[in-house]
Amino acid sequence: MPTDLFLAASGWPSSVLADVIPPSCRRDVEAAPTPRLDDDDAVVDLPEWRPRKAARHLVPAFSALSSARASFRFEVSVQRAGRWSAWVAGATIGAARFAPLAARAEGLAAEIDEFVAEPPASAVRVRLRVRGEGRHAPFAAPWLVSLSAWDGSLAAPSGARSASATRLAVPALSQMEADAAIRMRICSPASVAMVLAYWGERVEVASLAREIFHPALDRYGVWPAAISAAGRHGVAGYLLRFPDWASAAWCLEQGLPVIASVTYGAGELVGAAMPETSGHLLVLTGCEGDEVLVNDPAGPTAASVTRRYRLDQLCRVWLERAGVGYVLVRPPTSLLA
């Protein structure tokens, strides 16, 4: 079940980024093209990317280490049998109103956080359209674009066991301590706030929720919005459809917490902070044998956020379903100078 993580970056030493991507998913880190102007927008035409296996699910992310606020949109075209589809636009992150572009065309559909190609695509082209203060403002600092390409095959039921114990000191924060009007909806901002705190950037959960909130979609859990917000606080990131537990364990062993998107019914995750959910995010902080150490923001208080879940059950409700994780990375201090 191969997943490819393609990455183009500007202002980053390529070795730094290669060192934070699981080896089974890692492709070459490429130099990002210079943005071109298109009226009020800056547009980055990314390289043509070819996954090892034709891809159905495409999850892009944009991360700029700039405090400047900017709006952005991904536009994607896919190739099948040597023919490229029309361009399709994903959801706009931010307040800008870009020129209209269809969200569906020729077996390619934008579905909020990802693009779905059916039949699967042998190659992918990605455009990043940005509008901000001074048009080039986000590109003045180091930035990167990533694309997770997955063929859509599900992980086999896991008999995984962690070979070595890992425990990361990720501060615990509870979404349930926020205002009652939003507390059930902010698992993504709460999880990002915990990982930002791990990297030394403490941000109040409600404040981060306001940054990440997508008014048009009425959602706090739009994946690329979370990655973008982390960048404004000096922490880069990418989105990855994790192919297996070994890839997640690798991240933990490198000191990288993983924010995992899980879905489960009643009784599927023993000891869970909420009995069932159609979509929830939590932070993987370590592993010991057949248990995963987790900061689950749905714990009623910060003291109850830290939990242990069975590895086989966690693999089922994460890797055999959505499988997506946020990986946030503290850049070298030289990049933040």
Model pLDDT for residues 299-312, shown as the tens digit of each residue = 999 999 999 999 99
Asked which of 126, 153, 180 is the last residue of a domain, the reply is 153
Q: How far apart are CA 309 and CA 290, in angstroms?
A: 9
- Same domain? For 106 and 173 the reply is no
The answer for residues whose C-beta is within 8 angstroms of residue 246's C-beta and 6 or more apart is 22, 24, 160
What angle in degrees, to the nearest 10, is found between the helix axes of 223-232 and 187-198? 30
- Same domain? For 34 and 141 the reply is yes
- Same domain? For 149 and 15 the reply is yes
Which letter does DSSP use for residue 156 in this model? P
- Same domain? For 285 and 314 the reply is yes
pLDDT band at 337 (very low <50, low <70, confident <90, very high): low
- Same domain? For 148 and 174 the reply is no
Residue 159 placed within a domain? no
Measured CA to CA in angstroms, residue 176 lies from 155, 277, 304 at distances of: 32, 15, 11
Task: Check: CB of residue 282 under 8 Å from CB of residue 294.
Answer: yes
Residue 189 placed within a domain? yes
- Same domain? For 178 and 104 the reply is no
Mean of pLDDT over the chain: 94
Stronger pLDDT, 129 or 69, i.e. the higher one: 129
Spell out the SS3 assignment of 55-112: EEEEEEEEEECCCCCEEEEEEEEEEECCEECCCEECCCECCCCCCCCCCEECCEEEEC
**Number of structural domains in the chain:** 2
Residue 98 placed within a domain? yes
- Same domain? For 140 and 184 the reply is no
Q: What pLDDT was estimated at residue 162?
A: 61
- Same domain? For 172 and 317 the reply is yes
Name the residue range of residue 295's domain. Answer: 166-333
pTM of the model: 0.96
Strands 26-31 and 88-89: unpaired
Residues 148-184: tens digit of each pLDDT: 999 988 766 555 666 679 999 999 999 999 999 999 9
Q: At residue 242, does pLDDT exceed 60?
A: yes
Return the residue matching tokens 């902080």: 285
Q: At residue 13, does pLDDT exceed 90?
A: no
Q: At residue 186, does pLDDT exceed 80?
A: yes
- Tokens representing residue 105 in the block: 């065309």
Mean pLDDT in residue range 55-66? 97
